């Protein structure tokens, strides 16, 4: 191309056309070392961000069907949540007894903490599966 062309018309986009006097190789070398303008960088970042957002929208638009294992897990969680909540309420009521000793309070508190942790974990998993 260098042997045929001594003047280039550069189409920059948005209707802008510029002329370059010289060969394509000279133009390429000159612009390779030239940093991109801030506008072009911003446009590239915006276009990349738009592509990512559109892919996320496509993923959100398609509801994922639960697998057989996940359906069973969801059913098991639905059965165990009321049981755990009842245990939590029972232990909370036991803690409100003013005649309990320190040892009993400590063991009931530990059990209550384990149940609360398990309940939170199952509720979080339930939310993941139900979405």
Residue 45 pLDDT: 67
> In whole angstroms, what is the distance from residue 85 CA to residue 104 CA?
21
Say yes or no: 72 and 126 in one domain.
yes
Q: Is residue 2 part of a domain?
A: no
The span from the CA of 94 to the CA of 109, in Å, is 10
Q: Which of 61, 82, 103 is the last residue of a domain?
A: 61
- pLDDT reported for residue 78: 92
List Cβ neighbours of 11 (8 Å cut-off, separation of 6 or more): 17
Nearest to 84 by CA among 124, 125, 112: 112
Report pLDDT for 66.
Answer: 81
Residues 79 and 36 in one domain: no
**pLDDT tens track, the chain, 131 positions:** 777 878 888 887 778 888 888 888 888 787 766 655 555 666 666 767 776 676 666 656 556 788 889 899 999 999 999 999 999 999 999 988 888 888 999 999 999 999 999 999 999 998 888 87
Q: What is the DSSP letter of 22?
A: S
């Amino acid at each position: 191309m260098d042997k045929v062309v001594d003047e280039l018309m550069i189409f920059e986009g948005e209707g802008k056309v510029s002329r370059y006097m010289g060969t394509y190789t000279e133009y390429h070398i000159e612009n390779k070392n030239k940093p991109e303008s801030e506008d072009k960088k911003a446009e590239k970042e915006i276009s990349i961000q738009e592509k990512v957002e559109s892919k996320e929208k496509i993923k959100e638009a398609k509801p994922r069907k639960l697998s057989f294992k996940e359906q069973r897990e969801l059913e098991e969680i639905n059965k165990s949540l009321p049981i755990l909540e009842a245990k939590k309420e029972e232990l909370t009521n036991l803690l409100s007894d003013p005649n309990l000793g320190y040892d009993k309070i400590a063991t009931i508190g530990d059990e209550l903490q384990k149940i609360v942790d398990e309940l939170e974990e199952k509720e979080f998993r339930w939310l993941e599966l139900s979405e």
